[in-house]
């Protein structure tokens, strides 16, 4: 089912290529991958067997870019066509928004085509999703085969639901993009019916009426259009390979629109966060002002919020947060453990030295025990006890200190005062 | 008759900005706490809901599709064993491991871890995250969105989308 993420400002739809084995589903995807603009498609992933048969699914994201402020993406899947892979087909079909049924034009493959179509119908019904209510496009592939069945035959056999049908030679890229565009258009139309503002729904419905029938590649004349209802989906804008069906008893616009029996709005299960109530797809005559609820009237008049006023998409902090990035890189490098230990030890040392210094400054007793070189760091002058008329110890001639007491005998007793420190003061030595 | 929750489970789900913001906050806290490389929330159909972590070089769309496919395939295996489904998947590689947890009924929580984080720790932390995400999702489902949040697609969404399709594939 379509996911509308107003937080990420994204719309995401799922399109599945269905069909019998070897009909060209994976080839379709490969051609889209090769030929589409590189900015529009991502990498193609294929879960295939050794013989290149699709085992589970092929997948490729297709990016339409910003559409009305929403990043719009289509997720393209293929299913394995072989009968015995039905379990995986059901898994891939889960939550499908649009289906391209790729049929093989070879007459020998008609049975397989029918079987696969019935299988599609059954699988969808299991999910409570009738085929007639799902956007569906048929692609008659391998039109270059010399014995290819006629389009009229294929239509008669495979297209009782009157879905849009296209001729294709997928190997050469013919008809591939026309099919893709058509199914994308149908999905968007459906999305628009259910999620666009009321005013827009009315506008779209009226603007869709005057469409011209698409160009056809076959000689089949376009089927007459009895009377187009006002709100049928639009035909592809560019000339595709769409096939015009012969006249059918069902009233249909241009033979390309969705089947007339469409999902009634009341049948759709209610969705709690759905912003607006849906309007019926087969619309009655254009609603008048009186038919609208007060809320719809309000929304019809209200202008959409300006882009700058809309809430920005949440910033991907994980990818952009430099702190987180640095943190993660450190954790990943594996060398951060040693660095952390070194830094811790260094900080611890600095703190210990600071504490010691403070203690020494505050405690003179401890300072006394320090060696003189460290003592000078704290600004303490050497403690010298000298007579009042004596010179300071620091200014005493250095030769006087080492002179032993016997040498002092030769010095005249009255010439100079004793420069040696008083006994009992070891600091002066 | 399907209940409203059942309908919501199988039909489309609209996520509003406030809920996505809350989910992003939860995921980012988990990425930081668990030292994960990234964490994504996807739904069972393979659509991405929210993502956080180192995702700049990650192809999130493809990862989402493949993880959803992988999870869906194991559901069939579970049925063969009589289980409704497996709620946790874990793939371990040389450099990275990926842990997938089913949250609620339709959301998958995908956490990618470097090999330095041990599997036991991944299991515990992912379990914690699943409870948180479940609470946020349950609150988002139960909450009636405010008037200002009730956004709809832009008025010209259809026309612009068709123009984009024409400009991209018109000449092909």
Chain B residues within an 8 Å CB radius of A2: 12
Which residue range forms the structural domain that includes residue A336? 323-362
Report the pLDDT value the prediction gives residue A205, as an integer from 0 to 100: 35
Consecutive H or E run containing A24:
none
Q: Which position has the higher pLDDT, A211 or B60?
A: B60
Give B92's pLDDT tier (boundaries 50, 70, 90).
very high
pLDDT at A169: 95
Assess if residue A405 is contained within a domain.
no
Decide if B20 and A72 are in contact by the 8 Å CB cutoff. no
Structural domains in chain A (count): 2
Q: Give A-chain residues touching B23 at CB under 8 angstroms.
A: 7
Quick check: B86 and A42 in contact, CB under 8 A? no
Q: What is the pLDDT of residue A380?
A: 64
Return the higher-pLDDT residue of B157 and A111: A111
CA-based end-to-end distance of chain B: 46
Nearest to A237 among B24, B141, B162 (CB): B162
What's the confidence (pLDDT) of residue A223? 38
* pLDDT computed for residue A388 by the predictor: 53
Q: How far is B148 from chain A (nearest CA, A)?
A: 10
What CATH number is attached to the domain comprising A235?
3.40.50.300
Per-residue model confidence (pLDDT) at position A370: 80
Contact B45 A95 (CB under 8 A): yes
Confidence band of A314 (pLDDT split at 50, 70, 90): very low
Establish if A413 belongs to a structural domain. no
Q: Do B13 and A269 touch (CB under 8 A)?
A: no
Which of A18-22, A143-147, A359-363, B112-116 is the least confident region?
Answer: A359-363
pLDDT, tens digit, 9 for 90 and up, residues A250-283: 333 333 333 333 333 333 344 434 343 444 444 4
Domain ranges of chain B: 8-169
Q: What is the pLDDT of residue A382?
A: 57
Query: What does the pLDDT read at residue B96?
Result: 92
Q: Return the SS3 of A394.
A: helix
A2 to chain B: closest CA residue = B12
Mean pLDDT score, B66-70: 89
Please give the pLDDT value at position A272: 39
Could you tell me if residue A388 is inside a domain?
no
Report pLDDT for A396: 45
Catalogue the E-assigned strands of B24-158: 38-43, 48-53, 88-92, 96-103, 107-114
Q: Is A26 a member of any domain?
A: yes
The listed range with the strongest mean pLDDT (A99-103, A376-380, A424-428) is: A99-103
Residues A330, A298 within the same domain: no
DSSP H or E run through A130: none
Return the pLDDT at A254. Answer: 35
Q: Establish if A34 touches chain B: CB-CB under 8 angstroms.
A: no
Q: How confident is the model at residue B168 (pLDDT cuts 50, 70, 90)?
A: confident
**Mean pLDDT along residues A289-311:** 54
Top mean pLDDT of A319-333, A411-425, B92-106 is at B92-106
Q: What value does the mean pLDDT take over residues A349-373?
A: 87
Whether A197 and B152 lie within 8 Å, measured CB to CB:
yes
pLDDT at A300: 56
Looking at residue B18, its pLDDT comes to 83
Regarding whether A357 and A212 lie in a shared domain, the answer is no
A226 burial (CB, 10 Å; 0-12 / 13-18 / 19+) is exposed
Indicate if A214 and A301 belong to the same structural domain. Answer: yes
Q: What is the CATH code of the structural domain delimited by B8-169?
A: 3.30.450.30
Contacts of A88 in chain B (CB under 8 A): 73
How far is it, in rounded angstroms, from Cα A164 to Cα A243?
Answer: 7
Which residues of chain A lie closer than 8 angstroms to B164, CB-CB? 64-65, 67, 72
Per-position b or e across B3-28, b if 16+ CB within 10 A of its CB = eeeebbbbbbbbbbbbbbebbbebbb
> Strand B13-15 vs strand A165-167: parallel, antiparallel, or unpaired?
unpaired
Residue A376 in domain: no
Contact between A276 and B43 using a beta-carbon 8 Å cutoff: no
Mean pLDDT over A380-384 rounds to: 58
| Residue from the list A127, A269, A275 with its beta carbon closest to the beta carbon of B152 | A275
Q: Is residue A391 part of a domain?
A: no
pLDDT for res A265: 37
B39 contacts: CB under 8 Å, gap ≥ 6 = B27, B30, B31, B51, B52, B53, B109, B110, B111, B112, B129
Same domain, A181 and A274: yes
A391 has a pLDDT exceeding 90: no
pLDDT at A375 over 50: yes
Q: Do residue A217 and residue A356 come from a single domain?
A: no
Of all residues in chain B, the percent with pLDDT exceeding 70 is 87
Nearest CA in chain B to A191: B158
Among candidates B61, B17, B44, B24, which has minimal Cα distance to B103? B44
* B144 contact residues in A (CB cutoff 8 A): 272
Q: What is the 3-state secondary structure (H, E, C) of A159-214?
A: CCCCCCEEECEHHHCECHHHHHHHHHHHHHHHHHHHHCCHHHHHHHHHHCCCCCCC
Q: What is the pLDDT of residue B39?
A: 95
Domain check: are A310 and A331 in the same one?
A: no
Chain A residues within an 8 Å CB radius of B41: none
Per-residue pLDDT tens digits for A200-223 = 444 433 333 333 333 334 333 333
Instruction: Note the pLDDT of residue B99.
Output: 95
Confidence grade of residue A56 (pLDDT, cut at 50, 70, 90): confident
Is the residue at A352 inside a domain?
yes
Query: Which residue did the predictor score with more confidence, A318 or B73?
Result: B73
Q: Please write the tens of the pLDDT for every residue from B1-40.
A: 444 444 444 444 678 888 888 999 999 999 999 999 999 9
What pLDDT is attached to residue B149?
Answer: 57
- Kindly determine whether residue A185 and residue B23, on different chains, have CB atoms separated by under 8 Å: no
Q: Which segments of chain B are extended strands (E)?
A: 13-15, 38-43, 48-53, 88-92, 96-103, 107-114
Q: Which two tokens stand for residue A61?
A: 């994201």
Asked whether residue A85 falls in the same domain as residue A14, the answer is: yes
What is the least distance, in Å, from the CA of B151 to any CA of chain A?
6
Average pLDDT, chain B: 84
Average pLDDT of span A228-255: 40
Q: What's the average model confidence in pLDDT over A188-199?
A: 73
Asked whether residue A346 is assigned to any structural domain, the reply reads yes
Question: B153 or A301: whose pLDDT is higher?
Answer: B153
Q: What 3-state class would DSSP assign to B157? A: helix
Q: Do B169 and A70 touch (CB under 8 A)?
A: no
The beta-carbon neighbor of B168 closest among A40, A176, A199 is A40
B59 and A127: CB-CB below 8 Å?
A: no
Pick the residue with more confidence: A213 or A315? A315
């Amino acid at each position: 089912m379509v996911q509308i993420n107003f937080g990420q400002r994204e719309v995401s739809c799922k399109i599945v290529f269905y069909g019998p084995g070897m009909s060209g589903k994976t080839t379709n995807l490969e051609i889209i991958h090769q030929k589409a603009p590189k900015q529009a498609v991502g990498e193609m992933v294929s879960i295939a067997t050794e013989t290149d048969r699709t085992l589970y699914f092929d997948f490729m994201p297709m990016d339409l870019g910003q559409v009305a402020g929403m990043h719009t993406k289509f997720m393209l899947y293929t299913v394995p066509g072989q009968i015995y892979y039905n379990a995986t087909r059901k898994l891939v079909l889960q939550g499908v928004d649009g289906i391209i049924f790729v049929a093989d034009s070879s007459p020998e493959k008609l049975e397989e085509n029918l079987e696969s179509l019935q299988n599609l119908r059954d699988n969808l019904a299991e999910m409570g999703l009738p085929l007639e209510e799902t956007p569906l496009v048929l692609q008659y592939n391998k039109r270059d085969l010399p014995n290819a069945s006629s389009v009229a035959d294929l239509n008669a056999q495979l297209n009782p639901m009157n879905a849009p049908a296209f001729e294709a030679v997928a190997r050469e890229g013919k008809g591939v993009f026309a099919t893709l565009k058509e199914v994308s258009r149908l999905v968007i139309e459906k999305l628009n019916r259910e999620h666009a503002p009321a005013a827009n729904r009315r506008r779209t419905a009226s603007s869709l009426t005057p469409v011209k029938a698409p160009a056809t590649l076959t000689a089949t004349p376009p089927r007459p259009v009895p009377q187009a209802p006002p709100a049928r989906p639009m035909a592809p804008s560019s000339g595709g390979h769409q096939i015009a069906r012969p006249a059918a008893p069902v009233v249909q616009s241009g033979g390309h629109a969705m089947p007339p029996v469409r999902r009634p709005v009341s049948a759709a299960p209610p969705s709690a966060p759905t912003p607006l109530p849906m309007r019926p797809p087969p619309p009655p005559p254009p609603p008048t002002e009186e038919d609208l609820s007060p809320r719809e009237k309000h929304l019809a008049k209200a202008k959409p919020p300006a882009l700058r006023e809309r809430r920005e998409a949440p910033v991907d902090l994980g990818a952009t947060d430099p702190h987180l990035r640095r943190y993660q890189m450190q954790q990943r490098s594996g060398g951060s453990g040693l660095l952390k230990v070194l830094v811790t030890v260094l900080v611890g040392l600095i703190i210990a030295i600071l504490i010691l210094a403070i203690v020494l400054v505050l405690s003179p007793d401890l300072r006394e025990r320090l060696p003189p070189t460290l003592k000078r760091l704290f600004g303490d002058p050497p403690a010298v006890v000298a007579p009042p008329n004596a010179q300071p110890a620091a200014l005493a001639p250095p030769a006087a200190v080492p002179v032993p007491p016997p040498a002092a005998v030769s010095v005249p007793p009255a010439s100079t005062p004793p420069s040696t420190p008083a006994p009992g003061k070891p600091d002066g030595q | 008759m399907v209940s409203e929750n059942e309908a919501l489970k199988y039909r489309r789900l609209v996520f509003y900005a406030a809920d996505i913001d809350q989910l992003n906050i939860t995921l980012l806290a988990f990425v930081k706490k668990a030292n994960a490389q990234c964490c994504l929330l996807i739904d069972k159909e393979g659509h991405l809901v929210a993502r956080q972590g180192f995702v700049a070089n990650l192809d999130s769309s493809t990862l989402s599709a493949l993880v959803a496919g992988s999870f869906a395939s194991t559901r069939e295996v579970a049925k063969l064993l009589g289980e409704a489904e497996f709620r946790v998947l874990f793939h371990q590689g040389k450099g990275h491991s990926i842990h997938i947890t089913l949250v609620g009924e339709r959301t998958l929580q995908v956490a990618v871890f470097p090999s330095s984080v041990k599997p036991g720790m991944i299991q515990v932390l992912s379990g914690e995250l699943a409870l948180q995400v479940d609470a946020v999702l349950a609150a988002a489902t139960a909450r009636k969105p405010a008037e200002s949040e009730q956004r709809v697609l832009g008025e010209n969404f259809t026309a612009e989308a068709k123009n984009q399709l024409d400009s991209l594939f018109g000449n092909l």
